[in-house]
Structure 1
Amino acid sequence: MKKTLVALAASLAMSAAFAQSSAPAAASAAAPASAPGAQREAHVEQRITELHSALKITPQQEDQWSKFADIMRENARTMGDLYRQRVAQRNTMSALDDMKQYGQITQANADGTKRLVDAFEPLYASLSPEQKKLADANFRQGGREHGHRERRHPRAAAPDAASVTKP
């Protein structure tokens, strides 16, 4: 069970490091600030821009970069939609519905992370040794230098700091 929680926390942290959730800035600007996921959605374009600059993406790498950034946007939209749906239905859901919906969110996060990794692999392969060092450092930090924090589901048991190890 502890390994599952650690894996889930690591997956959520990695997902947050890559994307910071949904929709382009223009779409999120139309959403009220209190809308679920709106804050995360507002950060996706900023994170894409920050990563593009930090990794020093070259014109030759733009095609692979675009594929990766598009997956970030898709994942962000999907997760934002699921969280909005969850909040909209929270007062009418049964405990079983709540658990099923959380399962959908968890599965969507896992599927999105797989798509993101699949898009990142060819991009990473195209990076120079210097760029790979930059990517390694950036993702190892989990985006914390950009104000991004690891997010946990509020109902998930938070493992103690000693039990969370990096792979």
Structure 2
Amino acid sequence: MKKAFVVLAASLTMSGAFAQSAAPAAAASAASSADVRAAQHQQRVEERITWLHTQLKITPEQEPQWKTFADVMRSNGQTMAGLYKQRMEGESTRNALDDMKQYAQISQAHADDMQKLVTAFEPLYTSLSPEQKKLADQTFRHGSEHGPSGKPMKPKHKGKAKPSAEAASDAEAASTPAAQ
């Protein structure tokens, strides 16, 4: 009996040591993963900026307005990447209330960033030619049907929700040769 007690005590002591060493490793892994995702997010922002520049056919005269717009996109991307990194790093310790607060913080930051983007886009949009405005209208409508690679993007809706008939007809009209 004494021997069983010693074995049990030794097992508990060692399992505690393993648990303590596993926790920092898991935290380091989550931080590393968050850093990688943040870098990937910034890369997608840069790809989107390059794609939009080409898609909208920005002229040399429009470059100052474009630079302001692109800088806001970069700043917004950094803000969101930082917030999502915080979210990933604290995932194992966050309770339901913390989760809701953090989601509200992300939603508010997104709304604030969108307002900054609108403010930066307005002077650019007003400087665009009628042809460029038409391209911008098509590009920004419903998040654009095509991504930076030119490939069709996945729909933004998830689950059982389906796009309205009006949205479907808009998408169909945008994909006709006359609309392009």
Residue of structure 2 equivalent to 1:111: 112
Higher RCO, Cα 8 Å, sep 6+: 1
Residue of structure 2 equivalent to 1:145: 146
For residues 81 and 108 of structure 1, the distance between their equivalents in structure 2, rounded to whole angstroms, comes to 11
Deviation at 1:161, TM superposition (A): 1.6
Written as runs of structure 1 = structure 2, the 5 A alignment for 1:119-158 is 119-140=120-141, 142-146=143-147, 147=151, 148-149=153-154
For residues 110 and 51 of structure 1, the distance between their equivalents in structure 2, rounded to whole angstroms, comes to 21
Q: Which runs of 4+ in 1 moved over 2 A?
A: 31-41, 147-152, 162-166
Residue of structure 2 equivalent to 1:86: 87
Change (3 A) 1:98 1:37: same
Which TM-score applies when normalising by structure 2?
A: 0.64
Q: Output the amino acid matched with 1:48.
A: I
Residue of structure 2 equivalent to 1:41: 42
- Aligned-pair identity in percent equals 52
Residue of structure 1 equivalent to 2:11: none
Q: Output the amino acid matched with 1:133.
A: K
Q: Indicate the RMSD between aligned Cα atoms, in angstroms.
A: 2.6
Contact 2:34-2:85 at 8 Å conserved across structures:
no
Which TM-score applies when normalising by structure 1?
A: 0.69
Residue of structure 2 equivalent to 1:99: 100
Q: Deviations over 1:86-116 (max 9, x none)?
A: 0000111111111101110000000000100
- Indicate the structure with greater helix content: 2
Q: Gaps spanning 5+ residues in structure 1: where?
A: 1-30
Q: How many residues align?
A: 132
- Report which of the two structures shows the higher radius of gyration computed on alpha carbons: 2
For residues 67 and 83 of structure 2, the distance between their equivalents in structure 1, rounded to whole angstroms, comes to 24
